[in-house]
Every structure is written in C-alpha cells, then in structure tokens.
Amino acid sequence: MKNIAVFASGRGSNFSTILGKIQAGEIAARVTCLISDRAQPPVFDIAREAGIPTYWISRKHFANPDDYVNFLLGVLSQHAVDLIVLAGYLKMIPIPVVQKYRGAILNIHPALLPNFGGHGLYGSKVHEAVLASGVKTTGATVHFVDEHYDTGPIIKQEQVAVLEHDTPESLAHRVLEAEHRLYPEVVRAFCEGKIKLIDHKVQWSL
Ligand code: GRF
C-alpha cells in the first residue's frame, strides 16, 4: 500500500477523481497529506471531508530556501510518502525534493507534451495557445517530474480532438474528462509497481 502526498493549488477535480478510486478500492493507496502553496484553496475542502491532513506551505513563510525545503521534506517523511501526485500545483517542486523523490513524482498537464508546456503555460493559457496554433489534436499528459516545468519523462498521454468551434473553455472541459481517465490509471499502475523510471526512461511492465 503506497502512501501518497498530493500537491494542489486550486479546485482539485483530479485529486477528487483519484481519491474516489482509492475509496472505491480500485487503487491500493492512501492519501496521507495534501499540500498547497495557497492558504485556503477549494481542494482543501475535499481533503478535509475525507479526513486528510492539509498543509499550507509557502516559500514566503521561511527566511531562507533551506528552511523551506527542510520543512517540506519533514512533512513528507512524517507522512511516510512513497509517491507525490501533483494535481494542479502551480509552484516548482524544489530541486532537493525532486532529487529525493525522483521517479516518484507525477504531474498531469492539459496538453500533449512536449508541446504547449513550460513556464507560464497553465490553465486556460494552454488551451488558448493550442487553439491559436491551429493543431487538430491536443490531449493530456502524465509525466515524471524533473527539475524543470513540464519536461520530465512522459508516462502516458490521451489524445483529444480539437473541434472547429472550440473555445478555450469547451476544449478545457473535454481535456479535463481525459485527465480524469488518464491520471487515476497511471497512479494505479504506479502503485502496482508497473511503472518505473530507470536511467531517466519510463519502463512499463504489465
Ligand atoms: C488540470 O487541468 C491539470 O492538467 C493542470 O491543472 C489542472 C488542475 O485541475 N495541471 P484540478 O484542480 O485537478 O481540477
């Protein structure tokens, strides 16, 4: 049974979907803590209702980066975390945390990486960029997290067609539906030991 820490900054629909699968016994894991860079994001309500401890941890709370990193690592270790799931978390994960948990930090991005990712491309900005480019296919990507935004090894993607009359909102809606299929599937596979990062490459075993 894996212990998961979820990092999230906003509404928490991916967290909620994954939590639902855990509660239904479809993913053998427990979410042992939820961490946010924001004081009261809506996602905290979902966690609290499920009795999951929530932490507001912001770099701004600490006099220097080392204290911040040590606090974060302390919380993760206190909750015996095996897997970190980023679900709409808008801050960079500090490098020492990436190094300690390499191969055990997942992120979901609402486009087909390596396209339409990177610093500043989040939320509706991603879908606006997709529509402006004229591509006919977008989607969702789950990847391992490395030291940069959206560049880590890709684990799985689901494609979504871009339709003629799509707006950023209509596209975001269909991509989110894909996210809610893709992310729990990857989390489940990880928890079953079927996905590993070896020499910076993703290895699936079925
Ligand atoms: C999702 O679109 C995800 O791809 C991105 O942030 C959004 C989070 O949505 N990383 P939610 O908070 O899970 O509803």
DSSP-assigned letters across all residues of 5-18: EEE--S--HHHHHH
User: Angle at the Cα of 177 (from 21 to 204), degrees rounded to 5?
Assistant: 60
- For residue 131, tell me if it sits in a domain: no
Find the 80 Cα to ligand 1 centroid distance in Å: 25
User: For residue 15, what are the domain limits?
Assistant: 2-109+141-154+179-199
Residue 11 has a pLDDT of 95
- Residue 118's region, left for phi above 0, alpha for psi from -120 to 50, else beta, is left
Q: Which atom of ligand 1 is nearest to the CA of 43?
A: 12
- For residue 52, tell me if it sits in a domain: yes
Residue 114 to residue 1: CA distance in whole angstroms: 32
- Could you give the C-alpha distances from 186 to 142, 167, 183, 191, in angstroms and in order? 8, 28, 5, 9
Pocket test for ligand 1, best of 38, 108, 116 (most atoms within 8 A of CB): 108
Among 53, 18, 15, 19, CA closest to 34: 53
Residue 206 has a pLDDT of 77
- For residue 83, tell me if it sits in a domain: yes
Among 74, 61, 68, 122, CA closest to 93: 68
Q: How many domains does the chain have?
A: 1
- For residue 14, tell me if it sits in a domain: yes
Pocket test for ligand 1, best of 154, 179, 187 (most atoms within 8 A of CB): 179
Find the 10 Cα to ligand 1 centroid distance in Å: 8
| pTM recorded for the entire structure | 0.96
DSSP state letter for 94? P
Q: Which atom of ligand 1 is nearest to the CA of 8?
A: 12
Find the 87 Cα to ligand 1 centroid distance in Å: 6
Find the 185 Cα to ligand 1 centroid distance in Å: 16
Q: 130 and 103 in contact (C-beta within 8 Å)?
A: no
Ligand 1 pocket, residues with Cβ under 6 angstroms:
8, 10-15, 87-88, 108-110, 176, 179
Q: Which atom of ligand 1 is nearest to the CA of 175?
A: 2
Taking 70 as the pLDDT cut, the residues of the chain under it are: none
109 is catalytic: yes
**CATH number, position 25:** 3.40.50.170
- For residue 63, tell me if it sits in a domain: yes
Pocket test for ligand 1, best of 9, 13, 119, 149 (most atoms within 8 A of CB): 13
Residue 30 has a pLDDT of 97
Residue 138 to residue 92: CA distance in whole angstroms: 24
- For residue 121, tell me if it sits in a domain: no
Residue 106 to residue 26: CA distance in whole angstroms: 18
User: Tokens 């855990």 identify what position?
Assistant: 22
Selecting among 79, 109, 143, 180, the annotated active-site residue is 109
- For residue 161, tell me if it sits in a domain: no
- Residue 132's region, left for phi above 0, alpha for psi from -120 to 50, else beta, is alpha
Residue 58 to residue 7: CA distance in whole angstroms: 12
- For residue 59, tell me if it sits in a domain: yes
